[in-house]
Amino acid sequence: MQAPWGVINVEPGWYISSQQPEEAEAEAEQLSPLLSNELHRPGSVGVSYSVSVLNLVNAIMGSGILGLAYVMAHTGVLGFSFMLLIVALLASFSVHLLLSMCIQTAVTSYEDLGLFAFGLPGKVVVAGTIIIQDVGAMSSYLFIIKTELPAAISEFLSGDYSGSWYLDGKTLLIIICVVIVFPLALLPKIGFLGYTSSLSFFFMVFFALAIVIKKWSIPCPLTLNCMEQYFQISNATDDCKPKLFHFSKESVYALPATAFSFLCHTSILPIYCELQSPSKKRMQNVTNTAIALTFLIYFISALFGYLTFYDKVASNVLQDYGKYLPHDAVVRTVRLCFLCAVLLTVPLIHFPARKAFMMVFFSNLPFSWIHHFLTTLALNIVIVLCAIYVPDIRNVFGIVGSSTSACLTFVFPGLFYLKLSREDFLSWKKLGAFVLLILGVLAGNFSLAVIIFNWTNNK
């Protein structure tokens, strides 16, 4: 049944009426300005292209960048490069499918795509997946801040300040969440975080540049300074030669580490709704630019981190710099800047989590500042409690996150496109969606098995 032009809130089962997929997208593209009416109020000019790119880059990059040098050490330079490139291309393609479905169905949220595809259960499953993924990510970031920030601050102090409140991780975490995270998360639109995203992006670039510069400050074979005496860690000059391809028992962690390094799909549609002059092509360009910048920073950080420590690189590359350059001012500054970058990512992830919650419980009600405030407060309390009281939050949310990340990045876009698109199954988009679905299921199950295996063996 053909729906009238301008209808935004439509029932599941309505599609653009053109018979050919190309005609449908061309016809639906004219609806792009209408699709943003829900968030673009009259007089609003939207968020600029550059700010949208920075917001998306901030949503993509997180603490996972610390482990990419370790991944390269166990896959080789070319092996890692190939994996990272494939994941970046798949992430861009899955976003392309999401935007295509939004144009064809005239909705602007991930949750409503689930509603179109599988009715109310689909919407609830998508919303629940987003909430679990985002709460896990935010809690993990706060957990890192709780454990690492006191050590970073103490490096700038001389003397014994043990027992001071500003070196207590829990106290610092509560203060930061009250003063920084909660007020930023309360902002009504994701575009308002453009300034913090710019700052976070600068910190990540500084992190990558510092790794490049410090490559020439640490000789190979590695020597460790202990009580003013230098101990050589390795005598073999072969240990200082990069490997193009390398496989070991640790290589199994490479797939989950790279497969979910470009997860940004929960933030794509909120950013798209606030984009200036919104269109599918413009938002795809935003996505491609953000993924390209992220790929560049990821690759530079991993490459020079690996070329500094080679097979001796730790799963957290900052620990290596603290070990081999314990009194270096640049390393201290980098650690503090990185923690600030992680902190500024938390409010950005609040937006899709809060939106998913409100779409399930308050979807039929008009916007209310009371609901907005209480939902933001509840999410903030949950992630702070998780970061404080869960003893090893990375393992707990690693198990959940391995499945939710795979669903949001690969499984849902592929599955929904196969369900909603009227293209022939042999069309390149549907075949690509099917491949994306299969890869998502395999990657999710594989990473889940790896995390459970690692968890049980470490007990």
Quote the pLDDT of residue 27: 43
DSSP-assigned letters across all residues of 71-89: HHHTT-HHHHHHHHHHHHH
Which one has a higher pLDDT value, 159 or 266? Answer: 266
Q: DSSP class of residue 3?
A: P
Q: Is the pLDDT of residue 299 over 50?
A: yes
Which one has a higher pLDDT value, 121 or 232? Answer: 121
Range name among 4-18, 116-130, 182-196 with the lowest pLDDT average: 4-18
Q: Is the pLDDT of residue 419 over 80?
A: yes
Quote the pLDDT of residue 240: 75
Average pLDDT, integer, range 133-153 = 86
Q: Is the pLDDT of residue 14 over 70?
A: no
Quote the pLDDT of residue 393: 57
Closest residue by Cα to residue 211 from 60, 317, 336: 317
Range name among 23-37, 51-65, 150-164, 250-264 with the lowest pLDDT average: 23-37
Q: How many Cβ atoms from other residues are within 10 Å of residue 327's Cβ?
A: 9
Quote the pLDDT of residue 6: 32
Q: How many Cβ atoms from other residues are within 10 Å of residue 300's Cβ?
A: 17
Q: Is the pLDDT of residue 378 over 90?
A: yes
Average pLDDT, integer, range 125-149 = 88
Using DSSP's 3-state secondary structure scheme, residue 89 falls into helix
In sequence order, the 6+-apart residues with CB closer than 8 A to the CB of 110 are 98, 126, 130, 265, 266, 268, 269, 352, 356, 408, 412
Closest residue by Cα to residue 125 from 115, 135, 136: 115
Percentage of the chain lying above the pLDDT 90 cut: 19
Quote the pLDDT of residue 215: 86
Range name among 31-45, 66-80, 193-207 with the lowest pLDDT average: 31-45
Average pLDDT, integer, range 37-41 = 45
Give the torsion sign (CA, 397, 190, 336, 174).
negative
Q: Is the pLDDT of residue 60 over 50?
A: yes
Quote the pLDDT of residue 434: 93
With residue 274 as reference, give the H or E element that holds it: none
Average pLDDT, integer, range 388-395 = 69
CA 302, 306, 312: angle at the middle one, nearest 5? 135
Q: Is the pLDDT of residue 182 over 80?
A: yes
Average pLDDT, integer, range 223-243 = 57
Quote the pLDDT of residue 190: 76
| Cα 284 from Cα 271, distance rounded (Å) | 11
Quote the pLDDT of residue 275: 83
Range name among 239-243, 287-291, 322-326, 395-399 with the lowest pLDDT average: 395-399
- Residue 338 pairs in a beta bridge with none
Average pLDDT, integer, range 91-120 = 88
Which one has a higher pLDDT value, 166 or 1? Answer: 166
In sequence order, the 6+-apart residues with CB closer than 8 A to the CB of 445 are none
Quote the pLDDT of residue 321: 83
Quote the pLDDT of residue 294: 92
> Which numeric CATH code is attached to 47-457?
1.20.1740.10
- Report which listed range, 25-34, 250-259, 429-438, is most confident: 429-438
Closest residue by Cα to residue 352 from 57, 137, 195, 65: 137
User: pTM here?
Assistant: 0.81
